[in-house]
Amino acid sequence: MINIGIIGAMDKEVEALLNKVEIERKDKINDTLFYMCRYKKNELIVVKSGIGKVNSAVVTQLLISKYEPKYIINTGIAGAISKKVKVLDIVIASETLQYDFDATNFGYKLGQIPQMDKYIFETNEYLIETMKKVLKKEQRYHVGRIISGDKFISKENDKKFLFKEFNGLCVDMESGSIGHVCYINGTSYIAIRCISDNADENSTENYNDFDSKAAYKSSELILALLNKVLRSN
């Protein structure tokens, strides 16, 4: 039996998952509910972090400290910044970073965190390869960098700058900080995103049209990933 932590930022990112597992109990730590679930005789800890890097970092640390999961899976939605990524495509993170960390006045690169030996946080190769196997042939997916910051990107100029500077596939508000905390704790993780918008002037409208659909699609893929992971452990 293994335990796996699953983090989504919003209710809609975790509800579809919770509807398909057996909830055994709810642990409340501070103001956060951790759902202790049973799935195929294994333990899942499902939690909604809230939006943004601080919320996701705090919840990730609580999850690791309290439950010591073997893997952390971060599910959710994101805005595309690469031209090859389209709405409702899936992005599997090979690595994550925080684009809005700025200590460039002291000679650091944009995104680089002073006094840390790493600021680009690689995801788990086994989880990447397993996720690729569960994706259907007709499903468009990409493997690459996801970048995070505390800003909803909705301007073409911002989008172009982020892609040029960081060469990311998409942008969100949580995966970089989750990767940061997992790196500090030595915990294996992966971030999986379904694209809800194009991170441009139409992003708010696109987001409202596709966010629920993208969140549901992402949660469905998490279940498929779990089926593969649990069979091989």
DSSP the chain: --EEEEEESSHHHHHHHHTTSEEEEEEEETTEEEEEEEETTEEEEEEE--SSHHHHHHHHHHHHHHH--SEEEEEEEEEE-STT--TT-EEEEEEEEETT---GGGTPPTTPPTT-S-SSEE--HHHHHHHHHHS-TTS-EEEEEEEE-SS----HHHHHHHHHHH--SEEESSHHHHHHHHHHHT-EEEEEEEEEE-SSTTHHHHHHHHHHHHHHHHHHHHHHHHHHHHHT-
- The pLDDT score that the predictor gives to residue 23 is 94
Residue 200 has a pLDDT of 77
Dist CA 134 CA 92 (whole Å): 12
Rounded distance, CA 57 to CA 185, Å?
12
Residue 91, pLDDT score? 96
- Give CA–CA dist 161/171, Å, rounded: 12
Which of 9-18, 23-32, 67-76, 209-218 has the least mean pLDDT?
209-218
Average pLDDT, integer, range 70-89: 93
Task: Look up the CATH superfamily of 3-231.
Answer: Nucleoside phosphorylase domain (3.40.50.1580)
Q: Which residues are catalytic?
A: 13, 197
pLDDT tens readout for residues 154-167: 899 999 999 999 99
Domain ranges of the chain: 3-231
pLDDT given for residue 42 in this prediction: 79
Angle, vertex CA 94, rays to CA 93 and CA 97, nearest 5: 75
- Write down the pTM of the prediction: 0.93
- The pLDDT mean for the chain works out to 90
Segment 62-69 mean pLDDT: 97
Q: What is the mean pLDDT of residues 51-76?
A: 96
Contact 154, 99 (CB under 8 A): no
- 2-11, 168-177, 188-197 — most confident range: 168-177
pLDDT of residue 75: 92
pLDDT at 205 over 60: no
Confidence check: pLDDT of 27 > 70: yes
* Confidence tier at 89 by pLDDT (50, 70, 90): very high
* pLDDT beyond 90 at 69: yes
**Residue 203: pLDDT above 70?**
no
For position 179, what pLDDT does the model report? Answer: 98
Which candidate, 32, 66, 69, places its Cα nearest to that of 47? 32
How far CA 123 is from CA of 46, 94, 160, 230, in Å, comes to 19, 5, 25, 18
pLDDT at 172 over 70: yes
Query: Are residues 225 and 128 in contact, defined by beta-carbon separation less than 8 angstroms?
Result: no
How confident is the model at residue 20, as a pLDDT? 83
Residue 39 or 123, more confident: 123
pLDDT for the residue 197: 83
